[in-house]
Structure 1
């Protein structure tokens, strides 16, 4: 018996299906072309890595609560990352020593701006015009710092440390959560706690416009509420790529690393440890007390049952000493339980300088000069200024006093633990601390 659907019928249905498939594909392509012509091209122009002067708008008067941008507003849908992908085929970024993008050319005035007349903007500061090249000594300083990292990361170097020879793809996503991305200006910042990261995060919030008050982004970094600066939802980090882009995340990371300007700031490793202890363990901090201080008091401070809260502990004069803190760092069981907290984790483990070719390496010891130099390289010095330095800063001259109570052998072990940070970032070996 012949099947209900004869062979010619089957062929006809198959042909009809293919025709519909082809027509559907053509229709989708036309929709994409129309969308790109009407919307996409404009979006691409707004979100390329070229950063012109952003009109400074003062937030309206009043005390309206700041709000974060929605996910749709924050990332400009998926297009801002397609922009980055397209940018890899464009010409390279101009030399940072050239005239700042978006500056008012000689002979023109700001009244010739293309801003809509109905929009009222209040200038925050006059646009800066840099016609002179960046000082040669500043360039040489950067070249020296970057060359140091390059040489010590090479396979021929005598310096060895965990993770040195792995590739970028080998780094787990959770170890990329310190790399903050600003797609508006094409910037990637690797933040290191206790190295001016609070102020640099303020800068990133202003540049990315990720925090609004009455629909207007903050213009002055110091206006950003202190309690929101370290709010992770305000910072788009590499660690968040997987959730948003899935299997395309690593590819997009590599595109941004190649195209964007990448920077970090570092500090003398031992001085950074002193600063971390002063800020997180010597002061009343409930979170750090429960997570770390209680462990230190029990294991190294001879307190079998320390107070449950930091308020009670400090009222009784109970707190871990700096010596207890160093014992905690040197104890092999510490990292068996969990990785070092970010405030005392080695800087190379936070920022991966052997896998990421940083364009700028700043130091806390030369913060003011480096910040000015960097903002000019980023071509945003006409948009934002780095906040004044905090003067109550832990300094290297204090090292001798702080480490006086630390046994000689422990100092040697501690240096070995942080040796990669010392050498990669050009800090001298603390000889005075390492000799009896």
Structure 2
């Protein structure tokens, strides 16, 4: 009996060890193959003081501890030995990578703590999300489903940076271009003259929105197979998760201005022509955006809102990401976000977040000098929209207003 029992133990341990090796290989080696960046380089040496305490977002030890727990559950009481600590993997730290390493701007490290009011701001925003998700008075599609019920296609806005333990849910029209640039710099997924690009603004716009530059949750299935959902949950538990939002109505105005007041042939052909035919008495709209602009034809803001409120729109296809509700993009009732930034307080929030992530010595959030849509313009934009349409639109986006703490726009809904 003793021999048989020992044999079973060895078989179980051997199987678990093989699973561990496969997962670690996929999680570590696979990332470098996907991103095509140089191996992880050691940081600069600090001459004085003790080494900095390891961040809680450190990927390898926390991941291995989960695997240890997985292995230990197969052992009968009294048959297992304490798991030996696993040394960190340094096989991918080459001398060439060290030679090409660009020293971090250590002088930029903030030694003073984050202001109490900024910490309180984040606490209030996180608490509000929890309260709204638990509040039965607010209902919206998908609110009460579990994370397992979210389809793979709906997870394409969650960008993962395994190097720093960060997950970012990007929301179009909320400074997502610059935050995507930050994620590219941190993940080192773009090389410039053989070294990782360190300047966010030097990343071309076409690459910023190129899906191959970002490792998103919906790509986990291709890499990890049946382990994908489990690994998503592990990373959601261990990593720092953040998103940025803005006033929902102002976001709609910004989307309209960017996609239909400017020459965008793709959006004109996919959406603009539909709006003109259905709501602007244009049965045969111009074939291209250049022709349309040449004769002064484009969908009005009212046409755009009619399109959003038309039940036929969602029957044909889900809302485009530029006007899709944030709760549908980022699933805030299934994912407990650690940081909720607002575009209205973007400068303070960005600095706070980068300090919290301990990467403010690596990258700075770029300042935007573009013409931004102001909240004060809302009344002017909605002046030509019938009052009933405004109220229906609010119902459509009410979850975003309430989840993220934006006041009900009474001056628009009750005029």
TM-score range for the pair, normalised by the shorter chain length: 0.7 to 0.9
Distance change (3 Å), C-alpha of 1:197 and 1:392: same
**Is contact 1:127-1:382 (8 Å) kept?**
yes
Q: Aligned pair 1:85/2:63, yes or no?
A: yes
1:372 to 351, 370, 373: 351
Cα gap change, 1:370 to 1:168, in 2 (>3 Å): same
Compared with structure 1, are the counterparts of its residues 331 and 182 closer, same or farther at alpha carbon in structure 2 (3 Å cutoff)? same
In the alignment, does 2:1 pair up with 1:71? no
Check 1:120–1:305 CA distance in 2 against 1; reply closer, same or farther (3 A cut): closer
How far 1:116 moved relative to its partner? Answer: 8.6
State how 1:326-405 maps to structure 2 within 5 Å.
326-405=305-384
Larger radius of gyration: 1
Q: 1:141 aligns with which of 105, 121, 131?
A: 121
SS, match of residue 108 in structure 2: coil
**1:320 CA drift (Å):** 0.3
| Per-residue CA distance 1:18-49 (angstroms, 9 max, x = gap) | xxx99xx89x89x97xx99xxx89x99x99xx
Q: 1:395, CA displacement in angstroms?
A: 0.9
Partner of 1:423: 402
User: Residues 109 and 360 of structure 2 are in contact (CA less than 8 Å); yes or no, is this contact kept in structure 1?
Assistant: no
CA–CA distance in structure 2, aligned partners of residues 141 and 72 of structure 1 = 35
User: Given the alignment of the two structures, is residue 157 of structure 1 paired with residue 136 of structure 2, yes or no?
Assistant: yes
Could you tell me how far 1:214 is from its partner in structure 2? 3.2
Question: Does structure 1 conserve the Cα–Cα contact (< 8 Å) formed by 2:166 and 2:239?
Answer: yes
Residues 87 and 259, structure 1, Cα contact 8 Å, conserved in 2: no
Look up the match of 2:244: 265
Distance 1:373 1:240, change over 3 A: same
Matched residue, 1:244: 223
2:302 aligned with 1:323: yes
Q: CA deviation at 1:225?
A: 1.4
1:187 to 145, 163, 166: 166
CA distance in 1, matches of 2:38, 2:103: 26
Q: In structure 2, the residue corresponding to 1:210 is in which secondary structure?
A: coil
Matches within 5 A, 1:16-35: none
Alpha-carbon contact 1:84-1:256 (below 8 Å) kept: no
Give the superposition deviation at 1:72: 7.4
Match of 1:253 among 219, 232, 240: 232
Which sections of structure 2, spanning at least 5 residues, go unmatched?
1-6, 40-57, 69-93
Per-residue deviation, 1:83? 6.6
Q: Residue 228 and residue 73 in structure 1: after superposition, are their counterparts in 2 closer, same or farther (change >3 A)? A: closer
Rounded to whole Å, the distance in 2 between the matches of 1:81 and 1:136 is 29
Provide the rounded CA distance (Å) in 2 between the counterparts of 1:144 and 1:75.
Answer: 40
User: Which residue in the other structure is 1:110 paired with?
Assistant: none
Gapped runs of 5+ residues in structure 1?
1-20, 48-67, 91-113
- Counterpart CA distance in 2 for 1:130 and 1:138 is 15
Q: Once the 2 structures are TM-superposed, how far is the Cα of residue 82 of structure 1 from its aligned partner? A: 7.2
Residue 174 of structure 1 is aligned with which of 153, 165, 176? 153
TM-score (norm 2): 0.80
Contact persistence 1:69–1:211 (CA under 8 A): no
Q: In 2, are the aligned partners of 1:128 and 1:381 still within 8 Å (CA)?
A: yes
Structure 1 CA distance for aligned equivalents of residues 97 and 414 of structure 2: 69
Change (3 A) 1:88 1:378: farther
User: Pairwise mapping of residues 290-309 of structure 1 onto structure 2 (< 5 A)?
Assistant: 290-309=269-288
- Count residues with an aligned counterpart: 362
User: Normalization by structure 1: what TM-score?
Assistant: 0.76
Q: How far did residue 212 of structure 1 move?
A: 1.3
Give the 3 Å change call, closer, same or farther, for CA 414–117 of structure 1 in structure 2: closer
Does structure 1 conserve the Cα–Cα contact (< 8 Å) formed by 2:104 and 2:361?
no
